[in-house]
């Protein structure tokens, strides 16, 4: 279980998401904001969350060495959200995504975890560029991506979806 890379930032332990994180995934993916801006993953129980972790997150982790990461507050052990590097259908390249539980939003955790993951992707995982997608109405996500250094490069529609999403990109500096 520990053969996969974890990261540490000022306030966070950023480690791969495992089945033991099913409660967090269940809570996060059922928040109104997650459903509105990311989509309804149809996770109606802790068992559904465990299965989602196995099928979606762990499958990619075992294949690529990175996937979804659980964000844990170093000072008290609270699980506050996820941030990840995803090989998502419909996105050419690796895509960063993040989700924070509502009571931890607007405290800088999404920026802190995303910054650390981007640094790790470029310096340790040998990824050359990272994409990001967001719903056009998700102002806080758009602002965060710009603050992280992402540039808007266009729009995209993911397979089996109808909403057009904004497509951002950041490249490794040589």
**Structure confidence by residue, pLDDT tens digits, 15-50:** 999 999 999 999 999 999 999 999 899 999 999 999
Is residue 2 very low, low, confident or very high in pLDDT (cuts 50, 70, 90)?
low
End-to-end CA distance of the chain: 33
What is this structure's pTM?
A: 0.95
pLDDT at 174: 63
Is residue 1 very low, low, confident or very high in pLDDT (cuts 50, 70, 90)?
very low
CA distance 59 to 79: 22
Q: Could you read off the pLDDT of 107-157 as tens digits, one per residue?
A: 999 999 999 999 999 999 999 999 999 999 999 999 999 999 999 999 999
Strand order across the beta sheet in which 129-135 lies: 7-8, 12-16, 68-73, 79-86, 94-100, 129-135, 165-171, 151-156
| Superfamily of domain 7-127 in the CATH hierarchy | Gcn5-related N-acetyltransferase (GNAT) (3.40.630.30)
CA atoms within 13 A on the CB side of 44: 1
CB 99 within 8 A of CB 135: no
**Residue 167 β-bridge partners:** 133, 154
pLDDT at 161: 87
Place of tokens 């992402």: 150
CA distance 43 to 56: 13
Token duo for residue 15: 């480690």
Q: Could you read off the pLDDT of 69-110 as tens digits, one per residue?
A: 999 999 999 999 999 999 999 999 999 999 999 999 999 999
CA-atom Rg of the chain in angstroms: 15
**Residue 81 β-bridge partners:** 71, 100
């Amino acid at each position: 279980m520990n053969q996969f890379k974890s990261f540490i930032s000022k306030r966070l332990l950023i480690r791969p998401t495992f089945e033991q994180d099913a409660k967090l995934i269940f809570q996060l993916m059922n928040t109104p904001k997650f459903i509105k801006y990311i989509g309804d993953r149809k996770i109606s129980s802790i068992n559904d969350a465990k299965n989602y972790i196995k099928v979606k997150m762990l499958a990619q982790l075992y294949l690529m060495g990175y996937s979804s990461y659980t964000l844990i507050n170093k000072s008290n052990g609270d699980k506050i959200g996820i941030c990840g590097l995803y090989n998502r259908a419909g996105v050419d390249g690796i895509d960063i995504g993040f989700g924070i539980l509502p009571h931890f939003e607007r405290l800088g955790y999404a920026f802190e975890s995303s910054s650390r993951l981007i640094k790790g992707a470029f310096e340790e995982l040998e990824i050359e560029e990272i994409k990001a997608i967001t719903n056009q109405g998700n102002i806080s996500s758009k602002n965060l991506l710009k603050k992280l250094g992402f540039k808007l490069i266009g729009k995209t529609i993911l397979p089996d979806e109808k909403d057009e999403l904004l497509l951002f990109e950041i490249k490794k500096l040589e």
